[in-house]
Structure 1
């Protein structure tokens, strides 16, 4: 078991799927390595259905190599909702790419590709003002029984209705997408 102090609370990790988790700089933050496919480090927390998740995350400004966020309503390693950032799109010159900066998914049924093709622009959005893609980004995710709202640097950037009714899952974890890793710190759940 690994543990990390976040805002005076110790979160241990129940298990890690498809990643290696480390705690650099004497456990000051979590780091997930880069691997093919999605990966998640499930945190040992009370069951989470609704509430507020806040954290800071750091990816990188490398095209198609940085997908970092949080998984919630987890039933297992492949069934969960997630909110994630694509830092390489934050300051893209192409406005279409910028609108792909923050994403909601509900796996296994609703991945990003299906949502983008069937509901263009509904489950992803730009982040304004655009944060530095190589720096820590402050994120707050508010989950209600029917919706999820995402704030970056205290500004709302996405609000969508939750998909699927898989809310029996109550796990919460650090999430990294295909081929990407990242860093998380100051994780709090209210």
Structure 2
């Protein structure tokens, strides 16, 4: 059964710096891109809460492919990564009420982000799918995409099954999420497993080095803690 958690005391709010909205968490500064964010206490732990800002970036259910898999994240300042390891613990819940009936708790990482947020790579999960009774939905638990040209819909259409997979995860539970980057390859390890849950053999983007961000999408309240980055 999913673990239950108590919630929430707001500790700090966003600030404005150099024209961009930012937040400081664990002595790290993040820029908000199409999201709202706050530092909160969850079961006594200080964590970062992130939700998509629908005023900054509206969602259109009739044009879903164009309004999801977008830069909706908090981007870490002053750190760039080409090859190495990004590890974070993440937990997602579906908003109540949710602006999207098909919300799955979309949460993950964006990396190799260009300076102006026009291109990046991402791996995220749909935790609700991980406990679905429908096998096809289970197969869509983990997702890779490359912004802006290779979102989930195009990858699913042109290479079905290659850029998605199943993972044994669920909503409302902490998930250890580790991405290892080496050249064109990205590997995802979940919950300290020995072998990767997911491998992207050749990422689609042209940006080989860039910023790192904590990413959420429509209908998700995402929580993050224990972010570490190891360069190689």
> What is aligned with 2:5?
none
| Matching of residues 4-43 of structure 1 within 5 Å | 4-5=25-26, 10-13=27-30, 15-25=31-41, 28-34=46-52, 35=54, 36=59, 37=67, 38=70, 39-43=72-76
Unaligned residue ranges in structure 1 (runs of 5+): none
| Alignment partners' CA distance in 1, 2:47 and 2:183 | 30
Residue 133 (structure 2) pairs with residue 93 (structure 1): yes
Aligned match of 2:197 in 147, 151, 157?
Answer: 157
Larger Rg: 2
| Alignment partners' CA distance in 2, 1:115 and 1:77 | 21
Residues 11, 45 of structure 1: 8 Å contact kept: no
Q: Secondary structure at the match of 1:110?
A: coil
Distance 1:17-1:61 versus aligned 2 partners, 3 A rule:
closer
Unaligned residue ranges in structure 2 (runs of 5+): 1-21, 60-66, 96-101
Could you list the runs of 4 or more consecutive aligned residues of structure 1 that deviate by over 3 angstroms after TM superposition? 34-38
Q: Secondary structure at the match of 1:22?
A: strand
RMSD: 1.9
Compute the TM-score of the two structures, normalised by the length of structure 1.
0.88
Compute the TM-score of the two structures, normalised by the length of structure 2.
0.73
> What is aligned with 1:46?
79
Q: How many residues align?
A: 182
> What is aligned with 2:64?
none
Q: Secondary structure at the match of 2:136?
A: helix
